[in-house]
């Protein structure tokens, strides 16, 4: 059996009940020592896996299902579906709605990716991510002494890329939607105009960045010059008017409308960093999804500048390792294999990742069988020798919960998977007067200089260097899986910065390889490694199973995996939706 290695899991869990606290010379001797011990069988703990949670975060329907990170965004999807919309109308409605409902995570001044699969029509990958303004060059972010100015690229008006969310959503909806734009934007406009109660996650985000907000932003997110609090009503009038202008002028509003004029005017005080020509040159890119066969399904994911390709490499490496007899087995063995697959994939990302219009990303090589075999042989040598130590690298990813994902599927298998973002919490923490638009800080996704980590601790090479008009490398990896007959199996994606590809890996691994149910797979403790920092991040529940002493060859850090997964899966005639229990959203459908 292809995955028999993994199926030995339950027996091997027992081994770790009695793990010794002795530092071992090598992995092999460590494993041999532990393979001898016997204990009662157990299962790993679930995180947030209670029935009460499950009742909220999992839903089963048969006709249509949407999973998002806000109940009202999912509700917007249901409303549009009931009005006669298709999955693309639903995606558009939920996208505009979530821009209003999670202004700390995404917004009209952000960017994103979408995979659209309509079994009777085709499959598409859309890149409507931010691009560097014409003025965006690395010299902009260099201090007089030649060192990189990491603050300037991360915060404030120069950390902003030319946004693509509006152009992207409009284009996709125009190509494949059924309803009018007025219809699909109606829920978002209502939420902006009538307001909604601020929830804890939003209130915390406002409080956190309050001191850095410009006065315009404080007017919207404050009451009596203090941060708006949980439970208070947030009305976004200027944003409502921007949305209204979009319904009237459609994409023109985003090229030469009042909105873009207001943005260019705002930037006149800042060196004209974003100018009229940036709006005119912005193009949504429409391309083919990256397709591979993995774990029993055909997988379509987003090609570069997304990190879909590195997710594919990661899955292929683990598959190849499972075929070889020499690798350590058991829970620790499994963790080593997954960690090493993650390490190699993120190493590739740091070397090759970038905008394919500006740099060659060797996608075919990185997913070829010969490459996978070579890399696995290298891992094998290293693991079997047991002689390695973590590279010391103190840069740690900073805490950042934002970005968003929308997964939609109907009973015919029509599906959309879309991740959208303004990058950090409230992006650049600046609002353009009169627009209600929160500026992104996506320039930080470029590599400011080789080896200098960004907000997520990620490093890059020249391939991801800043250039005018270029798209920064992204971790966002919206993905759709289909059966051999073309029927959609699963729609998945996540926010979570550098942890996006590993969150999708963890969930697919538990669901498709370990055969856990979908909710357990989403809520199961995760592991993460991103090459640099050379640290193995484990969810805290794993501490009892993997005390640092049991993984002496890694620098282990326990902490909650940041990414929130939103997924819809088809099992027989059922559509199962799960919104990550770490988040605020719910799946909705019937």
CB of 358 to ligand DON, least distance (A): 17
The string of DSSP codes covering 133-192 is: -TT--GGGGB-TTS-B-HHHHHSSTTSPPBP-HHHHHHHHHHHH--S-HHHHHHHHHHHH
The reply to whether 497 sits in an annotated binding site is yes
Count of residues that bind ligand DON according to CB under 6 A: 16
SS3 assignment, position 31:
helix
User: CA Rg, the chain, in Å?
Assistant: 23
User: And the tokens for 440?
Assistant: 């992104």
Residue 265 to residue 273: CA distance in whole angstroms = 11
Told to check if 471 binds ligand DON by CB under 6 A, we report: no
Contact residues for 17 (Cβ-Cβ < 8 A; gap 6+): 37, 39, 40, 42
Told to check if 497 binds ligand DON by CB under 6 A, we report: yes
The reply to whether 99 sits in an annotated binding site is no
Cβ(478)–Cβ(114) below 8 Å: yes
The reply to whether 579 sits in an annotated binding site is no
CB closer to ligand DON, 436 vs 495: 495
CB of 74 to ligand DON, least distance (A): 20
C-alpha distances (whole Å) from 522 to each of 237, 336, 507 are: 37, 21, 5
Angle between helices 87-101 and 165-176 (to 10 degrees): 160
CA angle 579, 582, 584 (to 5 degrees): 65
CB of 165 to ligand DON, least distance (A): 13
CB of 87 to ligand DON, least distance (A): 23
Told to check if 401 binds ligand DON by CB under 6 A, we report: yes
CB closer to ligand DON, 86 vs 502: 502
CB of 437 to ligand DON, least distance (A): 17
CB of 424 to ligand DON, least distance (A): 7
Whether 403 sits among the annotated catalytic residues: the reply is yes
The reply to whether 368 sits in an annotated binding site is no
The reply to whether 26 sits in an annotated binding site is no
The reply to whether 406 sits in an annotated binding site is no
Told to check if 210 binds ligand DON by CB under 6 A, we report: no
User: And the tokens for 261?
Assistant: 């004029």
Cβ(136)–Cβ(277) below 8 Å: no
Told to check if 474 binds ligand DON by CB under 6 A, we report: yes
Taking residues 69 to 108 in sequence order and writing x for each that binds ligand DON by CB under 6 A, - otherwise, the string is ----------------------------------------
Cβ(79)–Cβ(64) below 8 Å: no
The string of DSSP codes covering 368-393 is: -HHHHHHHHHHHHHHHHH----PPP-
Residue 402 to residue 405: CA distance in whole angstroms = 10
Contact residues for 492 (Cβ-Cβ < 8 A; gap 6+): 407, 417, 478, 479, 480, 481, 504, 507, 508, 565, 566, 567
Q: Beta strand 290-294 with 285-287: parallel, antiparallel or unpaired?
A: unpaired
CB closer to ligand DON, 334 vs 348: 348
The string of DSSP codes covering 392-409 is: P----PPP----EEEEEE
Catalytic residue, candidates 313, 403, 435, 502: 403
The reply to whether 212 sits in an annotated binding site is no
Told to check if 562 binds ligand DON by CB under 6 A, we report: yes
Name the segment binding ligand DON (CB under 6 A); options: 11-19, 213-221, 471-479, 579-587. Answer: 471-479
Told to check if 402 binds ligand DON by CB under 6 A, we report: yes
CB of 159 to ligand DON, least distance (A): 11
CB closer to ligand DON, 74 vs 477: 477
Closest CA to 24 of 558, 556, 553, 554: 553
Told to check if 400 binds ligand DON by CB under 6 A, we report: yes
Told to check if 187 binds ligand DON by CB under 6 A, we report: no
Told to check if 445 binds ligand DON by CB under 6 A, we report: yes
Told to check if 403 binds ligand DON by CB under 6 A, we report: yes
Binding residues: 129, 421-423, 445, 474-475, 497
Binding residues for L-glutamate: 129, 421-423, 445, 474-475, 497
Active site residues: 403
Residues at the site binding ligand DON, with contacts judged by CB under 6 A: 400-403, 421, 423, 442, 445, 474-476, 495-497, 500, 562
């Amino acid at each position: 059996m292809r995955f028999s290695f993994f199926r030995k899991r339950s027996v091997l869990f027992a081994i770790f009940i009695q793990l010794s606290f002795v530092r071992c010379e090598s992995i092999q001797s460590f494993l041999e020592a532990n393979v001898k011990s016997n204990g009662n069988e157990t299962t790993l703990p679930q995180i947030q896996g209670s029935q009460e949670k499950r009742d909220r975060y999992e839903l089963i329907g048969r006709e249509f299902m949407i999973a998002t990170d806000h109940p009202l965004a999912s509700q917007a999807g249901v409303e549009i579906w009931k009005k006669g919309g298709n999955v693309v109308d639903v995606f558009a409605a939920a996208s505009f709605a979530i821009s209003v409902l999670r202004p700390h995570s995404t917004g009209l001044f952000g960017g994103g990716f979408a995979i659209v699969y309509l079994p009777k029509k085709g499959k598409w990958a859309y890149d409507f991510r931010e691009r560097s303004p014409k003025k965006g060059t690395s010299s902009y972010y260099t201090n007089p002494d030649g060192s990189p100015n990491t603050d300037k690229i991360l915060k404030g008006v120069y950390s902003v890329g030319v946004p693509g969310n509006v152009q992207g959503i409009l284009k996709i909806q125009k190509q494949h939607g059924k309803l009018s734009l007025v219809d699909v934007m109606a829920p978002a406009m209502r939420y902006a105009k009538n307001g909604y109660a601020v929830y804890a996650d939003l209130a915390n985000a406002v409080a956190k960045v309050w001191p850095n907000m410009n006065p315009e932003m404080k007017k919207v997110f404050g009451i009596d010059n203090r941060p708006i609090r949980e439970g208070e009503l947030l009305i976004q009038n200027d944003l409502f008017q921007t949305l209204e202008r979009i319904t009237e002028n459609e994409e023109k509003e985003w090229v030469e409308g009042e909105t873009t004029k207001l943005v260019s005017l705002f930037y006149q005080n800042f060196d004209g960093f974003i100018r009229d020509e940036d709006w005119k040159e912005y193009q949504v890119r429409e391309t083919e999804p990256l397709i591979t066969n993995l774990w029993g399904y055909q997988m379509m994911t987003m090609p570069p500048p997304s990190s879909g390709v590195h997710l594919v490499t990661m899955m292929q490496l683990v598959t190849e390792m499972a075929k070889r007899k020499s690798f350590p087995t058991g829970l620790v063995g499994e963790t080593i294999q997954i960690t090493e697959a993650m390490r190699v994939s993120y190493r590739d990302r740091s070397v090759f990742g970038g905008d394919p219009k500006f740099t060659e990303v060797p996608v075919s090589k990185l997913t070829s069988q010969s490459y996978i075999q070579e890399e696995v042989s290298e891992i094998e040598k290293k693991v079997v020798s047991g002689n390695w130590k973590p590279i010391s690298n103190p840069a740690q990813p900073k805490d950042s919960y934002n970005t968003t994902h929308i997964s939609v599927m109907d009973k015919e298998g029509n599906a959309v998977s879309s991740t959208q973002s303004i990058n950090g919490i409230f992006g650049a923490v600046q609002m353009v007067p009169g627009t209600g638009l929160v500026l992104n800080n996506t320039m930080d996704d470029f590599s400011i200089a080789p080896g200098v980590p960004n907000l997520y601790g990620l490093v890059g090479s020249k391939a991801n260097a800043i250039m005018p008009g270029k798209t920064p490398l992204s971790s966002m990896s919206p993905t759709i899986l289909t059966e051999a007959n073309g029927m959609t199996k699963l729609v998945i994606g996540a926010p979570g910065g550098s942890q996006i590809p590993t969150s999708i890996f963890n969930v697919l691994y538990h669901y498709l390889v370990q055969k856990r149910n979908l909710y357990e797979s989403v809520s199961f403790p995760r592991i993460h490694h991103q090459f640099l920092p050379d640290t193995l991040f484990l969810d805290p529940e794993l501490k009892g199973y993997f005390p640092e002493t049991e993984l002496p060859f890694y620098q282990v850090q326990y902490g909650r995996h940041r990414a929130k997964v939103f997924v819809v899966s088809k099992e027989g005639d059922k559509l199962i939706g799960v919104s990550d229990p770490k988040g605020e959203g719910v799946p909705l459908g019937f």
